[in-house]
A and B are shown apart, each in its own frame.
Chain A
Amino acid sequence: MENNQELTALLILPLLGSLLSWFIPKASQRLYALLVSFLQLATGIYIASHANFTKGGGLEQTLPWLSDLGIQLQLRLDSTSVWFVLLSGFVSFVVLGLKGSWYRKQARLFTSLSFFLIFAMNTAFLSTNLIVFYLAYEAVFIPMILMVGIWGTNAKATSVFRFFLMSFFGSILMLVSIFYLSYLSFLKTGNLSTNLDDLMKLSADSNISLSLCFVGFLLAFAIKVPLFPFHGWLKEVYVNAPTPATIWMSSLLSKLGVFGFIRFIGPLFMPTFVEYQGVLLALAAFSVIYAAFLAIQEKNPKSLLAYSSISHLGFVMLGVFSLSDAGRTSAIVLSVSHGLTSAVLFYLYDLIEVRKEGISMDRYSGMARQYPILFVCLFIGVLASLSLPGTFNFVGEFLVMLHAYPVSALCTILSGIGVILGSVYMLKFYQRIGFGKSEEMTSTADIHGFDLIVVMVILAIIIYFGFQPSIFLGGVDNV
């Protein structure tokens, strides 16, 4: 692990961006947001490219903060967190380029909240101190809830409250567990510490109280991912949130849960984790099928995409729960590919919604004729979502299943049914919007300009990494 003083840049930049946005004229908010997020992405790539992540290597930085209480701002960029940080930078850049009501109504607030969100997210991804992680994990909610509240649609109040309640439920348990772990560590070593590396030493002696803490963490992250049966909050929030918030949630917030499993639950509670592996694998497989079935009967395209997201995250969790290095790396690959795919799908759907109101899965809207390029892009996105070979998603899903199969053949085969069901609802999604005879013709132009470039870049990345994914797979030492 190399010491590096640049890691804070990944936190300071968005924080500054959040503050400075108040001094930028409203009309140039979008440009400003794009600029800062691009800078942020470039910084991330620059720092990552100078680190060596093989064999558990990476970058580390420690800043003293409340050291007396055993809390320090410890940042770590390793082969796990680097992909999430880069994904967050990239997706944020994409999201902030999307035009919409958020740049018309209270634009300054939107930009400011966005960068605060990125700041909190990056802190959560980088911090190895559990208290700092917890604070960041909670802080993510504030901009999220405000965004749904201010720029969201109709039934937002209830959905926000449920979202808050469930997440609060999970994270408060995690907080209790963190305190308890730190207390255990105090009993053992005489030091009050909330640092991951110190607490990891506890996992050796498995006892009942440790497995209680395990459940606390598990619930917090399972709600965030979400894993069945903790997904109840998701659909309403996704549907009512403004598109940027939806993309952030599906591409990044869900990954915060995945990341939590990999970063904290694995190292802290391995013996308990192994004990519960069977149940968890079954839950993951069931999530895949359950959400796929729900997607099939869904009438609202955005809800359909929301359920499809749960289904794919079930695959990610299958990889995490196979509890091997290769399985974990595969899960990260699938997380990144899912993050890109769901970003592009929600992005495109927003463009579609702008062009035609009241799209429903009940009837054919016949829009493909009118907007051929938009629908070519959407189709490639759908194929990626179907994990067709040649896309990045295939690499992830294939590797996840390949490594889950020796652990549990049954769960792998069951989740494989999700692959079939996936083709049912994703094709339905595409066909109902695109095909059939169109009712009325509006004069809005086909996808163009910034939108087209961004979408094409994401799709190109998805296809490129479908054939050259090796950069992501270095986390496992080659035997």
Chain B
Amino acid sequence: MSILLIVLFPLIGFLINGIRYIISTKKGTKISSQQSGMIATFAMVLSFLVSVYYYFQFNGQSNEVKLIDQNLFSWIKIGAFHLDFALRLDPLSLLFSLIITGVGSLIHLYSIGYMKEDASPAKYFSYLNLFCFMMLNLVLGSSMPHVFLGWEGVGLASYLLIGYWNLDVEKVMAGQKAFVMNRIGDLGFLIAMFVAYKYVGSLDLIEIQKSTMSPFVVTVFTGLVFFACTGKSAQIPLFTWLPDAMAGPTPVSALIHAATMVTSGVYLLNRISPLLIQAPQVLSVIAIVGVTTAFIAAIIACAQKDIKKILAYSTISQLGFMFLACGVGAFDAGVFHVMTHAFFKALMFLGAGSVIHALHEEQNIFKMGGLSKKLPITTITFVVGWAAILGIPPFSGFFSKDEIIIESLNSPYGNQVLFAMALLTALLTAFYMTRLLVLVFFSPSRMDKDVEEHVHESPLVMTFPLIVLAVLSLIGGFWHHSEGAHENSQMIMITSVAVAILSAGFSFYRYRKFDSEEQTNNFIENGLGINNFYNNFFGKGVTIVSKGLFRWIEAGIIQNGLKFCTWAVEFSGNVLKSFQVGSVQVYLMMMVLLGLSLMIWVLQGVMHGVLIYGK
């Protein structure tokens, strides 16, 4: 057995389906969703089984043994710089691998049903496998460039899948937005690597962890890594791409934009946690950014009408919780929440997919309602997910969320403000999730008649993953033993559960008989204007700068300068010709030479001036 197998199976799946897609376009044949879906799912299941094997290998071992290095080949070697392409498995990467391959398998399976009508399922499944391959590289890579390979690779897969229906220009643009915003964060990652190499002399993650850098360098390094994480994990200031990313097929939203890719920031912060502890300023920034993101996203979620947008903002909000956990030094709690969130959020996204599927692409929750009778399995499983995200005991979310809320107060890095914000966010979460649940499943139907007639429960291939995820959302919390034996923790626990239940009750009361569309605040619905601000400021800014540069410098100075030179040469040639003295070419040459020597002389002076000024 080798850890290479974990990443190898999705790669093989990607290649098989990719080649099948290309051959099918060449021959003009159609591939069934079952066939390609089975190949892709099978690849993921195999990869999952290998991960499970290592789970049992690690089980009961001491911590020193729980580390497997596998050097695949020498990647880049230049002078003193040597980089191996190597995989590394430790408890952290194992947990992420289990989530990626486990939840991934279920979502692949679900996709077989969801993408049944799609024109090119082989392409879809090859992208999905490519994503998993890259994501596994991200968590299993032993060095920063290897992690970066996965980091950029998942961004690429995300781009391809968001804009999967590429006839629709808007969806394509959503993909591009995600890619570009992620790249802004990636610049942080790149520079972090350069800093690490300059001061540590290595890019291996363990060596970076162990290194002794000066406090300033540690702060810069961890700050840059954190900036990279805000891109991938949709935190302030780089979060606006995630709601747009909902343009992709719903299983993609469940896998990439809820369960796995967006949590890679939490993974990375955990990887460098020994360094983060040395940089308290960065930690507090992470905590503040996390809790603010959680709070703002929760507010925006309350005013959304699109079922996927609500879940997207909810994801941003929950990711904020995970960052809060990291920011108060409770890294384990953050990872724990990654796991439970992967279960219940994937569950809810797939549930939403089941609803959208049944309603023929309707996504507005005010055009749903009363679906509990027609979609019983979807409803029951969704209720489990709802209970989990609210943090109702004994559902999984209760354990992970409460640990974070407790730590936000009790941890040495925590304080009352963080705690209050977290509690407030929990309250809002209960409100908007109950609103969603009630409006979709329990309130009176607001569907169009012809849509209502065709509503039917999804096939087994889609409901089976829902059931499994529901079970996991129910019991997932027991996999973690927290030793939070503070005196006040029981109090906090009771408070947060009470807050959630009260808020949910209010929401239920408010929406249970809704029969029209709610008048939501436009400003909140549009994401507090942040998205518009970015569009106006950065989007238009780039256009203005590029047009300005073209107009004033490129066309104005450079092209006109060239035109002038051409004209001058032609003119002097004509003048010389009119004098009829000797060979024109000779004079021309002399003119040019003279002019040039003059220019060099001037340039030399200018450059010297610059140099002296520079010193």
| Chain A interface residues (CB < 8 Å from chain B) | 158, 161-162, 165-166, 168-169, 172-173, 176, 211-212, 215-216, 219, 229, 231-233, 275-276, 278-279, 290, 293-294, 296-297, 325-326, 329-330, 364, 366, 368-369, 372-373, 376, 383, 388-390, 395, 398-399, 401-402, 405-406, 409, 412-413, 416-417, 419-421, 423-424, 427-428, 431, 434-437, 446, 467-470, 473, 476-479
Contacts and interface: CB of A to CB of B under 8 A. Distances in A.
A412 B194 contact: yes
B530 interface: no
A424 B180 contact: yes
B190 A419 contact: yes
Contacts of B26: 373, 446
Contact of A468 (B73, B172, B195, B566): B73
A232 B549 contact: no
A235 B610 CA distance: 29
B498 interface: no
B600 A473 contact: no
Interface of B: 22, 25-26, 73-81, 85, 145, 148-149, 152-153, 156, 159, 163, 166-167, 169, 172, 176, 179-180, 183-184, 186-187, 190-191, 193-195, 197-198, 542-543, 545-547, 549-550, 553-554, 557-559, 561-562, 565-566, 569, 592-593, 596, 600, 603-604, 607, 610-611, 614
A423 B180 contact: yes
Contact of B194 (A330, A372, A401, A435): A401
A427 B546 contact: no
Contacts of B596: 169, 172-173
- Which of B78, B159, B565, B569 is most buried by chain A, counting CB atoms within 10 A of its CB? B78
Nearest to A295: B546
Contacts of B75: 467, 469
A208 B74 CA distance: 47
A449 B415 CA distance: 68
27 contacts: A173-B600, A215-B604, A229-B558, A231-B558, A232-B558, A232-B561, A278-B614, A290-B553, A293-B542, A294-B549, A294-B550, A296-B546, A368-B166, A383-B156, A390-B149, A390-B153, A395-B76, A398-B193, A401-B190, A406-B198, A419-B187, A420-B184, A424-B542, A435-B167, A436-B172, A470-B77, A478-B79
Contacts of B179: 423, 427
Contacts of A402: 81, 193-194, 197
Nearest to A163: B562
A434 B163 CA distance: 12
A476 B82 CA distance: 12
Given A296-B542, A435-B163, A372 B78 contact: no
A158 B176 CA distance: 37
A297 B76 CA distance: 36
Contacts of A413: 187, 191
A424 B180 CA distance: 7
Contacts of A169: 592, 596
Given A467-B85, A478-B77, A294 B546 contact: yes
- Tell me the interface secondary structure of chain A in the complex: helix
Contacts of B193: 398, 402
Nearest to B185: A420
B594 to A, nearest CB: 11
Given A215-B600, A278-B614, A161 B167 contact: no
A220 B99 CA distance: 57
A89 to B, nearest CB: 24
Nearest to B149: A389
A427 B156 CA distance: 11
Contact of B172 (A158, A279, A431): A431
Given A424-B180, A446-B26, 12 more contacts: A279-B610, A296-B546, A297-B543, A326-B79, A388-B156, A389-B148, A389-B152, A435-B163, A470-B76, A470-B77, A476-B79, A478-B79
Contacts of B546: 293-294, 296-297
Contacts of B611: 275-276, 278-279
A162 B562 contact: yes
B76 A212 contact: no
Contacts of A215: 600, 603-604, 607
A478 B80 CA distance: 6
Contacts of A176: 593
- Which of A211, A290, A434, A435 is most buried by chain B, counting CB atoms within 10 A of its CB? A435
A399 B547 contact: no
- Which of B81, B198, B557 is most buried by chain A, counting CB atoms within 10 A of its CB? B81
User: Across chains A and B, which 8 residue pairs bring their CB atoms closest together, nearest first?
Assistant: A405-B194, A389-B149, A297-B546, A293-B546, A473-B78, A476-B79, A435-B166, A372-B25
B183 A423 contact: yes
Contact of A290 (B166, B549, B559): B549
Nearest to A211: B604
B268 to A, nearest CB: 15
